Amino acid sequence: MDPSATASPSPSSTAPATRAEFPRKLAFLFQPKRYKIAKGGRGGGKSWAFARALLILGASRKLRILCAREFQNSTADSVHALLKDQIEKLGLDGFYEVQQTRIIGANGTEFSFEGLRHNVTKIKSYEGVDICWVEEARTVSKASWDVLIPTIRKPGSEIWISFNPELADDETYKRFVKHPPTNSVVETINWYDNPWFPVELQQEAKDLRARDPIAYETVWEGHCKQVLDGAIFSNEILAATRTGRFTSVPFVPDLPVHVFSDLGRADKTSMWFVQVVGLEFRLLAFYENRGFFWEHYLDKLRALKEERGYSYGEIWLPHDAQNELLASKRTIEQQTRDAGYRVRIVPKLSVAGGIDAARQVFGRCFFDEDLCADGLQALRNYRYEVDPATQQFSKNPLHDWASHGADAFRYFAVGIAEPRAPAEPVSGPNDVYARRRRERSSSTSGSGWAA
Residue 326 lies in a domain: yes
Residue 257 and residue 155 share a domain: no
Q: How far apart are CA 219 and CA 85, in angstroms?
A: 25
* Domain range for 137: 24-193
DSSP string, 262-302: E--SSSEEEEEEEEEETTEEEEEEEEEEES--HHHHHHHHH
Do 177 and 94 belong together in one domain? yes
Q: pLDDT at residue 374 above 70? A: yes
Q: Is 244 exposed, middle or buried (0-12, 13-18, 19+ CB in 10 A)?
A: exposed
Is residue 439 in a domain?
no
Instruction: Specify if 230 maps to a domain.
Output: no
Classify residue 202 by burial, with Cβ atoms within 10 Å: 0-12, 13-18, 19+.
Answer: middle
Q: Is the pLDDT of residue 444 over 50?
A: no
- The mean of the pLDDT values for the chain is 87
Question: What are the distances in angstroms from CA 148 to CA 118, 134, 139, 159, 169?
Answer: 12, 10, 14, 10, 20
Q: What is the number of structural domains in the chain?
A: 2
Spacing of C-alpha 121 from chain mean position: 17
Going by C-alpha positions, the residue among 339, 320, 342 that lies closest to residue 331 is 320
Report the C-alpha gap between 94 and 105 in whole angstroms: 9
Length of the chain: 451
Mean pLDDT over 214-226 rounds to: 83
Is residue 201, in this structure, part of any structural domain at all? no
Q: What is the CATH number of the domain that holds 161?
A: 3.40.50.300
Q: What are the phi and psi torsion angles at 365 (to 5°)?
A: -100, 135
**Domain boundary residue, one of 131, 165, 193:** 193
State the pLDDT at residue 445. Answer: 34
Q: What is the pLDDT of residues 169-181, one digit of tens each?
A: 899 999 999 999 9
| Percent of the chain residues topping a pLDDT of 70 | 88
451, amino acid identity: A
User: Does the structure show a pLDDT above 60 at 156?
Assistant: yes
pLDDT (mean) for 442-450:
33
Is the same domain home to 275 and 134?
Answer: no
Confidence of residue 425 (pLDDT cuts 50, 70, 90): very low
Considering Cα of 229, then 231, then 235, then 239, what sign does the dihedral take?
A: negative
Q: What is the DSSP letter of 383?
A: B
**The pLDDT value given to residue 434:** 44
Here the CATH number for the domain that contains residue 402 is: 3.30.420.240
Is residue 116 one of the residues assigned to a domain?
A: yes
Both 384 and 252 in one domain: the answer is yes
Selected residue with higher pLDDT from 428 and 111: 111
- Least confident interval from 62-66, 204-208, 270-274: 204-208
User: Last residue of some domain: 159, 193, 227?
Assistant: 193
- According to DSSP H, which parts of 342-444 are helical? 351-362, 373-381, 403-416, 432-442
Work out the number of other CB atoms within 10 angstroms of the CB of residue 329: 8
Instruction: Kindly state the average pLDDT of the residues 113-131.
Output: 87
Are residue 49 and residue 176 in the same domain, yes or no? yes
Are 177 and 250 within one domain? Answer: no
Q: Are residues 407 and 308 in the same domain?
A: yes
Residues 264 and 170 in one domain: no
Q: Please indicate, yes or no, if residue 36 is contained in any of the structural domains.
A: yes
Gap between the Cα atoms of 257 and 249, Å rounded: 13
Q: Are residues 117 and 258 in the same domain?
A: no
CA nearest neighbour of 164 among 153, 173, 156: 173
Instruction: With respect to residue 199, please indicate whether it lies within any of the assigned structural domains.
Output: no
Q: Is residue 372 part of a domain?
A: yes
Do both 260 and 177 map to the same domain?
A: no
Same domain flag for 180 and 258? no
Whole-number pLDDT of residue 392: 80
**pLDDT over 90 (residue 433):** no
What is the DSSP pairing of strand 110-115 with strand 64-69? parallel
pLDDT tens string 282-291: 999 999 998 8
Instruction: Give the global pTM.
Output: 0.75
Position 127 scores a pLDDT of: 84
153, 64 Cβ separation under 8 angstroms: no
pLDDT tens string 352-364: 999 999 999 999 9
